[in-house]
Amino acid sequence: MKDHYRKLQNMYLQANINTMIFDTTTCYISKGQSEITLQLAPKYYHALNAMHGLVYFKLLDDSAFFAVNSIVYDVFVLTTSFTINITKPARHGLITAMGQTRFTSTNLMIGESSLYNEEGEEIAFGTGTFAKSKIALSNTPGYQ
């Protein structure tokens, strides 16, 4: 199992979006859980100098996704829907996304995640529905 978590971490850290745009500092995955951190920088801000909504979404979706895929060992899961709620702006510091698996069935899973600022305050949360794909993890780029 630990090998599976390590391979998922590699997959996340090697993804084009993360190597080209996002400066992810850590990614930790365990059974049914994940933690992703991002050091905020001005390139992630909107016009009012706070973190843009797309960054909230990406961190929330990614952390819920990897929490869910941590318990699926054979195939890549796909986000089928995701809802976010932003409760506070983020303007500086380290942002931490904590994801967990909430529900599982044969082909459908629900994951949830929360974002925390450097002071430990929750600044956003989200819930997503995920489905098993037909894509083998062994054929997924970065899963090595």
Asked if the structure places residue 57 within a domain, the reply is yes
- Give kind and range of the element (H or E) at residue 19: helix 16-20
Q: What is the pLDDT of residue 1?
A: 82
**Phi, psi (deg, nearest 5) at residue 126:** -155, 160
Q: What is the pLDDT of residue 21?
A: 85
Provide the residue-wise pLDDT of the chain in tens; the chain has 144 residues.
899 999 999 999 999 988 888 877 799 999 999 999 999 999 999 999 999 999 999 999 999 999 999 999 999 999 999 999 999 999 999 999 999 999 999 989 999 999 999 999 999 999 999 999 999 999 888 998
Tally of structural domains, the chain: 1
Single pTM value for the model: 0.95
CATH code, domain with 105: 3.10.129.10
Asked if the structure places residue 74 within a domain, the reply is yes
Domain span at residue 85?
2-139
Distances in Å between the alpha carbon of 119 and those of 94, 96, 116, 123?
Answer: 9, 10, 8, 10
Asked if the structure places residue 95 within a domain, the reply is yes
Asked if the structure places residue 52 within a domain, the reply is yes
Asked if the structure places residue 144 within a domain, the reply is no
Asked if the structure places residue 39 within a domain, the reply is yes
Q: What is the pLDDT of residue 20?
A: 87
Asked if the structure places residue 113 within a domain, the reply is yes
Asked if the structure places residue 42 within a domain, the reply is yes
- Give kind and range of the element (H or E) at residue 69: helix 53-69
Q: What is the pLDDT of residue 40?
A: 94
Taken as a whole, the chain contains a residue count of 144
Rounded distance, CA 79 to CA 59, Å? 13
Beta bridge partners of 108: 131
Rounded distance, CA 27 to CA 97, Å? 10
